[in-house]
Amino acid sequence: MNDTARPATRPQRSLFSAISRITDLFAYPLRTSHYVELVNPLWTTHLLQARVMKVWDETKDSRTITLKPGLNWRGHRAGQHVRVGIPVGGMHYTRTYTISSEPERSDGCFTITVKVVEGGRISRHIVRNLKPGDYLPIGLPQGDFYLPDAQPVKPLFITAGSGITPAMCMVRSLIAQERLPDTVHIHYAPHEFDLIFGKEIGELARAHPRYGFQPVFTRALGEEQREKRHFSEAQLNQLCPDWRERECYACGPQGLLTAIEALWDGAGLSRRLHVERFRATVAEVPADAVGGVVAFAKSGVKAEGDRATSLLRVAEDAGLNPAHGCRMGICHACDTTLLSGCVRDMRTGQVINEAGSLVQPCICAAAGDCELDL
């Protein structure tokens, strides 16, 4: 197969599926797609896969991976994310990453840019071990954090760390469409050498005077964090005096997003603020909350779950591999039934103790002993 070819067009996909319907009769009990997978995993239709074409180190702990998706892929909108399956140590994990390349890219590939999360075994595996030629199962692009079809009104991007990826995708897309408006992009990183896409951003800013990139480095070498360099209204007024007139897209750690939401809310501008989170917002753990023994009924496994660790993580640490997707309570891929006992939704603090209730293990923790249908 020509690896630079674009994914199949809609008429091509219709033709493939019409042919498959006939050949499936001869492939029973499997499907034609299972045999096609042996020839080229990108041609399968029962599973969407992508081939790693290239890896590129952005910083010492972040890497851009170029992926060539299979036939069933459909284009993304700038700012959307995709689910990626990662096999590690015989287990299958799923993580969600923002697509960092622009939809206008002409080679049929897309990129994700992954930063190692502290204590994150999957992100570490992707950044350290993934190599060209590997195949990964992927989902279709999802998410409602994307640019409007209409020309955005003077966008303001506020990002930090790997939160720069959706903003970068949007900026690249606007440039590719030759409709980049007056844009301000404030980005927080600890040091200059931690700046993801640093070289490219410098080139973009020089080539496109409308792209006003304002990096804020929160630490100097050998120095502890300085509070004054973090996001504040005074700093925003200085870096972007007309922020009230702009459409703001923000992505970064919880603390930054909370501060931005409070400021926009106070200014009565919430409708002009679009926020993308990488993690669910969790409520404070009640002082009297306790964990318990989590029994996974189908697997016959029991494990200790503390009051602040998600049941999904408890299951994975116990060697199980439950279905999951976003890991932040959005996709419902992890839904299961509470058979007995008590769990707590970590976002709201709500205690769920009715047997038969549907629970989301990715954002629920044990609240005493409990049993799940997993």
Q: Which residues bind ligand FES (CB under 6 A)?
A: 324-327, 329-334, 360, 362
Cβ nearer to ligand FES, comparing 179 with 332? 332
Please, what is the minimum distance in Å from the beta carbon of residue 296 to ligand FES?
A: 16
- From the CB of residue 221, how many other CB atoms can be counted at a distance below 10 Å? 8
Cβ nearer to ligand FES, comparing 102 with 316? 316
Residue 47, Cβ density class (10 Å: 0-12 exposed, 13-18 middle, ≥19 buried): middle
- β-strand pairing of 247-251 with 155-160: parallel
Least Cα distance to 276 among 256, 246, 250, 258 occurs for 250
| Helix (H), strand (E) at residue 25 | helix 10-27
Please, what is the minimum distance in Å from the beta carbon of residue 96 to ligand FES?
A: 8
CA 367 to chain centre: 28
Residue type, 5: A
Cβ nearer to ligand FES, comparing 187 with 327? 327
Please, what is the minimum distance in Å from the beta carbon of residue 45 to ligand FES?
A: 24
Please, what is the minimum distance in Å from the beta carbon of residue 305 to ligand FES?
A: 16
Cβ nearer to ligand FES, comparing 247 with 316? 316
Cβ nearer to ligand FES, comparing 144 with 227? 144
Question: Rounded to whole angstroms, what are the CA distances from 338 to 355, 367, 370?
Answer: 5, 12, 8
Task: Tell me 286's DSSP state.
Answer: P
Cβ nearer to ligand FES, comparing 125 with 324? 324
CA torsion 44-45-47-48 (nearest 10°) is: 80
Helix or strand or coil: residue 223?
Answer: coil
Please, what is the minimum distance in Å from the beta carbon of residue 44 to ligand FES?
A: 24
Please, what is the minimum distance in Å from the beta carbon of residue 329 to ligand FES?
A: 5
Rounded-to-integer distance, Cα 131 and Cα 240, Å: 41
3-state DSSP of 260-272: HHHHHHHCCCHHH
Please, what is the minimum distance in Å from the beta carbon of residue 331 to ligand FES?
A: 4
Cβ nearer to ligand FES, comparing 172 with 324? 324
